[in-house]
Chains A and B, each alone.
Chain A
């Protein structure tokens, strides 16, 4: 196959569909509303396809804290670097994290100085690396939400089965529901959530019930193509205009009401939930996934006794407020002057799903 449409993608980028749905939104939307796209993947899709041009002015889109790289704390990067400097360690990570500045360095800079940092496409690649290099200690830096956490859990279980004593996970995995609740409690106006499609594929609908029932916010689980996102916005506008809130699913080709029970079970088995630090939100109770005592042998946080330097936060960076939709990148004094993708100060400028990076790339 060399030419032709990509099924499940091109039909969701169709210009005529986009115009038709945008027209319907304009027709029914009367209120001044703010919608938050929680997931960085959504932020990216919106800006990459130039969707904002199709929305009426009374609908404001806010970017949420759904970029795993961006919400991982500086301390996590510092911790990873400290472990990476231990002789015989191979650090493995998903791509974006390598450029995130810690307090004084980044994984990318450390790599230039000789720390063995390797980008992997799947945690299972890290597992394979450990299996092939028994004399090395392979540490996987686990970031991400319900989307990536089950794979990390599966890797730990697999490592146990293979009796691998040189595979470790440094977990900064997080779960979404407590963060969404925190957001609903902030003073930022959020009338509805474009809920993360792939997190929902794992969790199912239930995690959003509190938002609709208790907090009276509209929730639509959305896919990642322009037509998906506009359709979700249309569904949200309908809910808000009618003041009838429920969890709706636009992404029916991927998300089921009950989610993926096998993945949920894996997470429950390997991780315990405790308070975790999010850039922007601070410490959020029950939002961090930590490796359970039973699997402590694979827990890099326990197996490597390293001194993590005291944090030094970049002055002037407002990443935190941007992550919760309170401020926009253009409100930051550092944005595009001091802080650019070439020289990122805050994590939001690093990740391809970071709000600042996206704004810089598509609008600066």
Chain B
């Protein structure tokens, strides 16, 4: 079916449209053994060492939001892409596209956040690029970060999910939807009274702890655009298994749920910037959970579901009221309902 005549906003939402654009355009022409893997980071073998390499661009609006800013996001986002590939993040680059007239003071605040996040995770920002465009040619500030990290060979399978099997447990580190709803609230002036903050955080410290606690972590993914539901689908299709999720066991943030109820959204599809979905061997699930709960980013961690051998490629949600239904892939952006 292809990817249409023109780029629409859905080509960037992490759902079906974007997948199609990536596979039918980018991968088709860039085609090689590494990109074909379609992982969050490319894993390369350089002089006998396994290196994870990734890049991400940040265009968030507004630049500052409760819980973070475009700078902290740009560092955490790339760190997380490395960390979920089983890598120890080492070095980052930072490219800035700045609109003429942008406040230097704001830029300074953003750069300070970037430095702080990098330091916290023990990585160095070692190279960068600066471009200024005429007023109106970009929206205030865009940032690109790339990163590399080193992967111990035993962690190579967590990126591909090749060890995922029926019976494995699915663990989520906290309530989904905080980043997306915090941004929406800041952007739309929705006038909800809440203390909602983005969950923007580096997941590396948490992942390090998890990998130390268990040798049977079979898959790691940060649930960003498209939310937890999109990762669940990735597991189902990539590993050719069924995924069962139990709605009642998903950690929740009441503010997020309340806003979602009002707007007609489902928190499972809302973007996160500090949420980790893991598949762990059932025998180690409890010990991993305990290890996670000792860290701030994992204190609300819970087992939310299980890998099955039925309904391969599908995600089944057991609803709070006891029914069962398919949890579909995100297609268009979620739109507010009108009545």
**Cross-chain contact B326 with A361 (CB below 8 angstroms):** yes
**Cross-chain contact A68 with B335 (CB below 8 angstroms):** no
**Cross-chain contact B338 with A95 (CB below 8 angstroms):** yes
Q: With the chains together, A304 CA to B261 CA distance in Å?
A: 37
Please judge, given known A-B contacts A4-B254, A145-B339, A342-B16, whether A13 and B324 are in contact too, CB under 8 Å. Answer: no
| Closest B residue by C-beta to A227 | B321
Chain B residues within an 8 Å CB radius of A144: 338-339
Which of A43-51, A279-287, A315-323 contacts its partner?
Answer: A43-51
B157 lies within 8 A of chain A by Cβ: no
Taking CB atoms and an 8 Å cut-off, the chain A residues in 10-42 that contact chain B are 10, 13-15, 18-19, 39, 41
Chain A residues within an 8 Å CB radius of B261: 6, 9
**Cross-chain contact A143 with B321 (CB below 8 angstroms):** no
Chain B residues within an 8 Å CB radius of A52: 323
**Cross-chain contact B320 with A6 (CB below 8 angstroms):** no
A355 lies within 8 A of chain B by Cβ: no
Residue among B7, B17, B338 with the highest chain A CB neighbour number at 10 A: B338
Minimum C-beta distance from A206 to chain B (A): 20
Q: With the chains together, A198 CA to B339 CA distance in Å?
A: 7
Q: With the chains together, A95 CA to B332 CA distance in Å?
A: 11
**Cross-chain contact A342 with B321 (CB below 8 angstroms):** no
**Cross-chain contact A341 with B321 (CB below 8 angstroms):** no
Q: Mark A328-343, 1 if CB is under 8 A from B, else 0.
A: 0000000000000111
**Cross-chain contact A363 with B322 (CB below 8 angstroms):** no
Taking CB atoms and an 8 Å cut-off, the chain A residues in 193-208 that contact chain B are 198
B286 lies within 8 A of chain A by Cβ: no
Residue among B194, B264, B323 with the highest chain A CB neighbour number at 10 A: B323
**Cross-chain contact A18 with B321 (CB below 8 angstroms):** yes
A249 lies within 8 A of chain B by Cβ: no
Chain A residues within an 8 Å CB radius of B194: 1
Q: Mark B172-206, 1 if CB is under 8 A from A, else 0.
A: 00010000000000001010001100000000000
**Cross-chain contact B338 with A13 (CB below 8 angstroms):** no
**Cross-chain contact A148 with B338 (CB below 8 angstroms):** yes
**Cross-chain contact A1 with B254 (CB below 8 angstroms):** yes
A92 lies within 8 A of chain B by Cβ: no
| Closest A residue by C-beta to B333 | A95
Q: With the chains together, A72 CA to B320 CA distance in Å?
A: 33
A353 lies within 8 A of chain B by Cβ: yes
Taking CB atoms and an 8 Å cut-off, the chain B residues in 84-104 that contact chain A are none
Task: Please give the number of chain B residues whose Cβ is less than 8 angstroms from any Cβ of chain A in the complex.
Answer: 38
**Cross-chain contact A15 with B322 (CB below 8 angstroms):** yes
Q: With the chains together, A14 CA to B255 CA distance in Å?
A: 20
B152 lies within 8 A of chain A by Cβ: no
Minimum C-beta distance from A174 to chain B (A): 12
A112 lies within 8 A of chain B by Cβ: yes
Q: Mark B258-274, 1 if CB is under 8 A from A, else 0.
A: 10010110000000000
Which residue of A148, A342, A362 is within 8 Å of B17 (Cβ)? A342
**Cross-chain contact B328 with A6 (CB below 8 angstroms):** no
Chain B residues within an 8 Å CB radius of A68: 338-339
Minimum C-beta distance from A269 to chain B (A): 21
A94 lies within 8 A of chain B by Cβ: yes
**Cross-chain contact B319 with A343 (CB below 8 angstroms):** no
B131 lies within 8 A of chain A by Cβ: no
Tally A-B pairs: CB < 8 A: 119
Q: Mark B261-297, 1 if CB is under 8 A from A, else 0.
A: 1011000000000000000000000000000000000
Interface on chain B toward A: helix, strand, loop, or mixed SS?
loop
Chain B residues within an 8 Å CB radius of A54: 322-323
| Closest B residue by C-beta to A343 | B1
Q: With the chains together, A148 CA to B255 CA distance in Å?
A: 25
| Closest A residue by C-beta to B262 | A121
Minimum C-beta distance from A185 to chain B (A): 25
**Cross-chain contact B188 with A6 (CB below 8 angstroms):** no
**Cross-chain contact B338 with A341 (CB below 8 angstroms):** no
Q: With the chains together, A361 CA to B194 CA distance in Å?
A: 31
Q: With the chains together, A6 CA to B261 CA distance in Å?
A: 10
A217 lies within 8 A of chain B by Cβ: no
Q: With the chains together, A2 CA to B255 CA distance in Å?
A: 6
Minimum C-beta distance from B264 to chain A (A): 7
Chain A residues within an 8 Å CB radius of B253: 2-3
Please judge, given known A-B contacts A4-B254, A95-B338, A112-B7, whether A18 and B322 are in contact too, CB under 8 Å. Answer: yes
Q: With the chains together, A305 CA to B15 CA distance in Å?
A: 39
B154 lies within 8 A of chain A by Cβ: no
Chain B residues within an 8 Å CB radius of A98: 335
Please judge, given known A-B contacts A3-B253, A96-B335, whether A362 and B325 are in contact too, CB under 8 Å. Answer: yes
Chain A residues within an 8 Å CB radius of B254: 1-6
**Cross-chain contact B336 with A13 (CB below 8 angstroms):** no
Residue among A9, A198, A342 with the highest chain B CB neighbour number at 10 A: A342
Q: With the chains together, A343 CA to B17 CA distance in Å?
A: 10
**Cross-chain contact A362 with B319 (CB below 8 angstroms):** no
**Cross-chain contact A50 with B1 (CB below 8 angstroms):** no
Q: Mark B2-20, 1 if CB is under 8 A from A, else 0.
A: 0000111000000011000
Chain A residues within an 8 Å CB radius of B137: none
Chain B residues within an 8 Å CB radius of A99: 332
Q: With the chains together, A98 CA to B8 CA distance in Å?
A: 12
Q: With the chains together, A48 CA to B1 CA distance in Å?
A: 28
**Cross-chain contact A50 with B17 (CB below 8 angstroms):** no
Minimum C-beta distance from B193 to chain A (A): 10
Minimum C-beta distance from B243 to chain A (A): 16
Chain B residues within an 8 Å CB radius of A4: 254
B residues touching A (Cβ–Cβ < 8 Å)?
A: 1, 6-8, 16-17, 175, 188, 190, 194-195, 248, 252-255, 257-258, 261, 263-264, 319-326, 328, 331-332, 334-339
Additional pairs, 18, CB under 8 Å, beyond known A2-B255, A19-B322, A111-B8: A6-B257, A9-B261, A39-B339, A49-B325, A50-B321, A50-B324, A51-B321, A68-B338, A69-B338, A95-B335, A95-B338, A109-B8, A112-B6, A143-B338, A144-B339, A147-B339, A342-B1, A362-B326
- 14 residue pairs A–B, Cβ–Cβ below 8 Å: A1-B254, A2-B253, A3-B254, A18-B321, A51-B323, A94-B338, A95-B338, A111-B8, A112-B6, A112-B7, A343-B1, A352-B264, A352-B334, A360-B328
Closest 8 CB pairs of A and B: A50-B323, A95-B335, A15-B322, A147-B339, A94-B338, A226-B321, A341-B331, A50-B325
